[in-house]
Amino acid sequence: MAYLIALLVSAAGVATLDARFRLAFWRAPRAAALTVAAGTVFFLAWDAAGIAAGIFLHLGSPLATGIMLAPQLPLEEPVFLAFFCYTALALYAGAERALAARSGRRRGVRP
């Protein structure tokens, strides 16, 4: 359960930064939701392929809920994947904004 709580608290932190700087969901909610959902589905398919090939195995942990959505697929996995995609989207949007601001400052200095 601790792992799921840590993921949700971390996602709340990313959401706080997102709201403060209007990076993803607070700038374009529909596009952000579609991006996070598409990334999550892609990585779940990747996980399914890995599970089917015997590459990904779930080993029990006292930090996890123990709830399995499918064989070898714990509840925490899609939550982690959505968090991963959301974090990547927020980092991308933040980096894009920082680089644009930096470029704008450089243009303002030139004669």
pLDDT computed for residue 111 by the predictor? 44
Confidence of residue 108 (pLDDT cuts 50, 70, 90): low
pLDDT computed for residue 58 by the predictor? 85
Answer whether residue 62 is part of any domain.
yes
Q: How many domains does the chain have?
A: 1
Specify the 3-state DSSP secondary structure of 65: coil
Mean pLDDT of the chain: 92
Nearest Cα residue to 7 out of 83, 87, 88? 83
- What percent of the chain clears pLDDT 70, i.e. is strictly above it? 94
Answer whether residue 61 is part of any domain.
yes
Is residue 69 predicted with pLDDT exceeding 50?
yes
Answer whether residue 80 is part of any domain.
yes
* Per-residue pLDDT reduced to its tens digit, 76-107: 999 999 999 999 999 999 999 999 988 876 66
Answer whether residue 111 is part of any domain.
no
Buried b (16+ CB within 10 A) or exposed e, 21-45: eebbbeeeeeebeebbeebbeebbe
**How many CB atoms lie under 10 A from the CB of residue 72?**
17
State the average pLDDT over residues 14-42.
Answer: 97
pLDDT computed for residue 65 by the predictor? 93
List the domain range (segments joined by +) for residue 61: 2-97
Answer whether residue 104 is part of any domain.
no
Answer whether residue 110 is part of any domain.
no
CA 54, CA 49: separation in Å to the nearest integer?
Answer: 9
